[in-house]
Structure 1
Amino acid sequence: MLKLENITKSFNGTTILNNLSLEVKDNAILSIVGPSGAGKTTLLRSIAGLDRVDSGKFILDDKPFDPAEASDTERIIGVVFQDFNLFPHLTVMENVTLAPTMVLKQSKQQATDNAKKLLEQLELSSHADQYPFELSGGQKQRVAIARALAMQPKILCYDEPTSALDPSLRDAVADLILGLKKTGITQIVVTHDPDFAKKISDQLLEVKPINK
């Protein structure tokens, strides 16, 4: 279980998160919703260790945990970014295997075998040798998820997973996230879409702008 206790974060003198506390249960899907500027992405980036908080505590499995200090090799939290951040000069397979070989020091064969399983799971096997520019938005997103899963995180975070996609693909994304729940991974989703959030979530957190 991941716990946040009294998390506070400010930018340039403006408080974005103020003494926020929450619990995310193991194997749960937490959706964070709220208007633009309410701090959804800031909260997600803080959980992922991409932004350091000003004060407060993170506790993972009853032990203090600082996501900003966690090394890549600890493989605790993965992130699927809104713009996917795929390497354009690498194939799908190369995108998925790069970090496991460089960071986790997996052999090329081990990383490739694991990647093949992930690509099959995400219905991407036939795209392994393609480059990102040859993929649809939905396919790029699934590659980004495969790349994050290849690092074997305990928690997978998504920043607006439906924002760059055609509305008709929203249900497919929901099915994908719900399918990953069966693998035992905990997922945290930032979304501007309350209906999408209700469909996928075990827990729902609504953040609101802090009154000045």
Structure 2
Amino acid sequence: MLELKGITKKFGGKTILDGVNLTVEDGKILTIVGPSGAGKTTLLRCISGLEEVDSGEFVLDGQTFDPATNRDNDSVIGVVFQDYQLFPNLTVLQNVTLAPTMVLKQSAIDAKKEAKRLLDQLNLGDKADLYPYELSGGQKQRVAIVRALAMHPKLLCYDEPTSALDPDLRREVQQIIVKLRDEGITQIVVTHDIPFAEAIADQMMRVEPKD
């Protein structure tokens, strides 16, 4: 379980997050919705350790936890970015196995075995040797999810996972996220897409811009 207690973040003297409190239960999906500029992505970046908070604390499984300084953060909180952030010079398989071999110190054999299992699970088994430019937007999205899952995170975060997808691919991503929940993976999804958020959420948090 992840708890946020009084999380505050400012940029240039402007308060973006003001004493945010929330709890995400294990194996559940939290969606964070609201208009552009309301702080959705900032909150996600703070949870994933990409931004340091100005005050407040994070509690993970009953222990105080600082995402910004935790050395093992890649294996605790996974992030699927809006622009996927795949390495263009690496194949799908290389994109997925890079972090497990470098960060988790898995052997190349074990990393490839796990990567292929995950790729098959998300119907990407025949894409392992392709490069990102050879993939559709929906395929890139799934590869980004596989890459995050390969680190065995306790929590998986998504930043606007449907923003560049057509309705069919949107439904596909929705099905993947729900399937991962059914497998016990805790997930936080930032989105402006209210119907999508309502379709997947166990709980929903709405954020509003600060004056």
Task: Give your verdict on TM over 0.5.
Answer: yes
CA RMSD, 1 decimal: 0.9
Confirm or deny: 8 A CA contact 2:91 2:132 kept in the other structure.
yes
Residue aligning to 1:42 = 42
> For residues 149 and 201 of structure 1, what CA distance do their matches in structure 2 show?
20
Equivalent pairs, count? 211
> For residues 74 and 45 of structure 1, what CA distance do their matches in structure 2 show?
13
Confirm or deny: 8 A CA contact 1:73 1:103 kept in the other structure.
no
> For residues 68 and 164 of structure 1, what CA distance do their matches in structure 2 show?
28
Residue aligning to 1:152 = 152
Change (3 A) 1:110 1:73: farther
Identical aligned pairs, as a percentage? 64
The alignment partner of 1:68 has SS state of coil
Superposed, 1:173-188 pairs within 5 Å as 173-188=173-188
Residue aligning to 1:84 = 84
Superposed, 1:7-22 pairs within 5 Å as 7-22=7-22
Residue aligning to 1:127 = 127
Change (3 A) 1:59 1:201: same
1:69-117 CA deviation, whole Å, 9 max, x = no partner?
A: 1114661100000000000011000000011011111000000000011
User: Which blocks of at least 5 consecutive residues in structure 2 are unaligned?
Assistant: none
> For residues 28 and 183 of structure 1, what CA distance do their matches in structure 2 show?
10
Residue aligning to 2:98 = 98
| Runs of 4+ residues over 6 Å off in structure 1 | none
> For residues 20 and 130 of structure 1, what CA distance do their matches in structure 2 show?
42
Letter in 2 for 1:126: D
Confirm or deny: 8 A CA contact 1:89 1:131 kept in the other structure.
yes
The alignment partner of 1:6 has SS state of strand
> For residues 57 and 12 of structure 1, what CA distance do their matches in structure 2 show?
21
Residue aligning to 1:200 = 200
Confirm or deny: 8 A CA contact 2:67 2:73 kept in the other structure.
no
The alignment partner of 1:51 has SS state of coil
Letter in 2 for 1:27: G
1:148-179 CA deviation, whole Å, 9 max, x = no partner?
A: 00011000000000001123321111001001
Change (3 A) 1:143 1:17: same
> For residues 134 and 182 of structure 1, what CA distance do their matches in structure 2 show?
31
> For residues 136 and 36 of structure 1, what CA distance do their matches in structure 2 show?
26
Q: Does 1:109 align with 2:118?
A: no
User: Which blocks of at least 5 consecutive residues in structure 1 are unaligned?
Assistant: none
Residue aligning to 1:61 = 61
Letter in 2 for 1:55: S
